[in-house]
């Protein structure tokens, strides 16, 4: 079936490439290229895919993530052609890493704010309690046994009891 369609697909390919739709152009031959194992078709698919990846990678209107992904795909599929974009890849990767760190920092701050609002619950660690709305205790009573350490944290409004650093009881 592909053999009969090659001429028509080449026309579609040229039209799509002219219109800047290189991904669609590559798809026009993708299944036939594999079926027929034709070097000319492979070259057409490769040219269209490379053009697509490079268009995305160099388009500053695209997100950093999309541009980075396009360069990663270019590197995976066409490593020799990707070498020309190593500097751009490094820049985008650095921006992406910075954005991820900022997102993680924001998420951690939001989590800390949530914990401060929510108070305490059984199973929390001492550090989590300190970060909660209860904060640091007024005083701590500590008892050490052969089987572990128990602590009573004293607050103006109640007591918290810990066994080996884990909250086991709340007394208001």
pTM for this predicted structure = 0.61
Greatest Cα-to-Cα distance within the chain, rounded to the nearest angstrom: 87
pLDDT for 105-153, tens place per residue?
Answer: 999 989 877 776 788 999 999 999 998 889 999 999 999 999 899 999 9
Question: How far apart (Å, rounded) are the C-alpha atoms in residues 166 and 168?
Answer: 6
Q: What is the CA radius of gyration of the chain?
A: 30
| Domain definitions of the chain by residue range | 2-102, 119-171
pLDDT for 42-52, tens place per residue?
Answer: 899 999 999 99
Say how far residue 168 (Cα) sits from the centre of its chain: 36
Which CATH number applies to 119-171?
3.30.1450.10
């Amino acid at each position: 079936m592909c053999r009969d369609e090659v001429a028509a697909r080449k026309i579609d390919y040229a039209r799509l490439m002219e219109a800047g739709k290189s991904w669609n152009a590559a798809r026009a031959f993708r299944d036939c290229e594999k079926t027929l194992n034709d070097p000319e078709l492979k070259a057409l698919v490769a040219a269209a895919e490379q053009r697509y990846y490079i268009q995305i990678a160099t388009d500053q209107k695209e997100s950093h993530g999309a541009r980075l992904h396009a360069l990663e795909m270019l590197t995976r599929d066409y490593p020799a052609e990707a070498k020309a974009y190593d500097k751009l890849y490094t820049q985008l990767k650095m921006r992406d890493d910075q954005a991820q760190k900022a997102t993680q920092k924001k998420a951690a701050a939001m989590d800390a704010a949530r914990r401060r609002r929510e108070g305490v619950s059984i199973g929390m660690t001492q550090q989590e309690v300190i970060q909660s709305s209860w904060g640091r205790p007024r005083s701590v009573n500590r008892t050490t046994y052969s089987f572990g350490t128990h602590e009573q944290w004293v607050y103006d409004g109640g007591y918290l009891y810990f066994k080996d650093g884990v909250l086991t009881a709340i007394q208001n």
